[in-house]
Amino acid sequence: MKAFEGAISLIPERLDGYYASPEFPTFEVSNREADVRYVKFLCSWPTFWRKLQGESKGIGARRERVSAQKLLEIEVPLPDLAEQCRVADKLDATMSRIAQFATLREHSSQLAQQHRDSLLRPIEELAPLSAALRPSSDFVDVDPDEDYRTAGILNRGRGLFHRPVNSGSDTKYPRYNRLHAGQFVYSKLFGWEGSLAVVPAEFEGVHVSHEFPTFDIDPSVADVEYMSHLARWPGLHDALKDKGTGMGARRQRVNVDRLLATTVPLPSLAEQRRVARQLSMVRQTTEAGAEQLAQVAALRSALLNAAFSGQL
């Protein structure tokens, strides 16, 4: 059902004897025609997935299927066994190093999260968010002849992201809320999942819907950088999990009053700045690691393309 998304794999030894539904056809690899390791890498090749996408049938993206017959009809690069083994040897060596790098980066990210928790959780000075935040919206009427830069918020404190530019004539909203750097913003709909952030400078003037309340941070009570780390803290996300109202997980909303009543660690400004400096240094390191992971992912894709085009 999702083969065209890359749901195709060689079965590892650890899953030998497991069961799957009839929606998961299985095949033996012919040892006379193919090296098992070569087939494993072939299954992870995005170009192969795109070929499967062209063979999918059904209504709606979630219901499209690739039949076993269509799978078997797809042509793939299949040199002689000696060449397959040579390619697989090279990919094995390189991909194992890439996997080791990804594992180390994941471990580094986990350590950074533990460090943040070790700094924030022991703080004894607690206060509701209302002590630091003041509701402050900048609503603008939507002009059908204007274009608007818009944004959303990722869950688990992963920050704001840019959405496509919207024409005023294409939106259902009569008004947009305009963001300003240094504000605290959250999603009513997904606040309980940790969709909250402090607005960075690059999002100054970007627009969001009324579902994204914004707040000025009181500089006499809270440090902006400290609040940006609070927005990323799983401890705050956990505190918001039971603050939603409505029916069904996807329809729960965290209203402003419940957000502002949520208690957070809020020590003196001097202590906030000390904690923020430490967390900012760690954050810079983890963000650099994330960029490296993205580069490694691009390298992995390039290696597979080279392997299956005879250039490796």
pLDDT tens readout for residues 179-233:
999 999 999 999 999 999 999 999 999 999 999 999 999 999 999 999 999 999 9
Evaluate if residue 154 carries a pLDDT over 70: yes
CB 187 within 8 A of CB 196: yes
- The mean pLDDT value for 106-129 works out to 90
Predicted structure pTM score: 0.69
**pLDDT given at position 52:** 85
> What SS3 state is found at 175?
strand
List Cα–Cα distances, 274 to 108, 161, 233, in angstroms.
22, 28, 17
Angle CA(246)–CA(251)–CA(252) in degrees, nearest 5?
A: 50
**pLDDT given at position 195:** 95
**pLDDT given at position 135:** 97
Evaluate if residue 292 carries a pLDDT over 90: no
Percentage of the residues of the chain whose pLDDT score is greater than 90: 69
Q: Per residue in 139-169, is it b (16+ CB within 10 Å) or e — as a string? A: eeebeeeeebbbbebeeebebbeeeeebebe
From CA 107, how far away is CA 192, in angstroms rounded? 26
CB 4 within 8 A of CB 64: yes
CB 144 within 8 A of CB 169: yes
pLDDT confidence bin for 1, thresholds 50/70/90: confident
From CA 84, how far away is CA 88, in angstroms rounded? 6
Kindly give the residue spans of alpha helices, DSSP state H, lying in the chain: 36-43, 46-53, 68-73, 81-120, 224-232, 234-240, 256-260, 269-307
The tokens for 79 are 């040199």
Q: What is the pLDDT of residues 243-286, one digit of tens each?
A: 877 655 555 789 999 999 999 999 999 999 999 999 998 888 77
Say if residue 269 is exposed, middle or buried (CB neighbours under 10 Å; 0-12, 13-18, 19+): middle
> For every residue of 29-88, which 3-state class applies, written as one string?
CCCCCCCHHHHHHHHCCHHHHHHHHCCCECCCHHHCECCHHHHHHCCCCCCCHHHHHHHH
- The mean pLDDT value for 37-61 works out to 81
Q: Which range in 43-57, 110-124, 143-157 is most confidently predicted, on average pLDDT?
A: 143-157
**pLDDT given at position 247:** 56
- Count how many Cα atoms sit within 13 Å of the Cα of residue 78 in the half-sphere of its side chain: 15
Evaluate if residue 140 carries a pLDDT over 60: yes
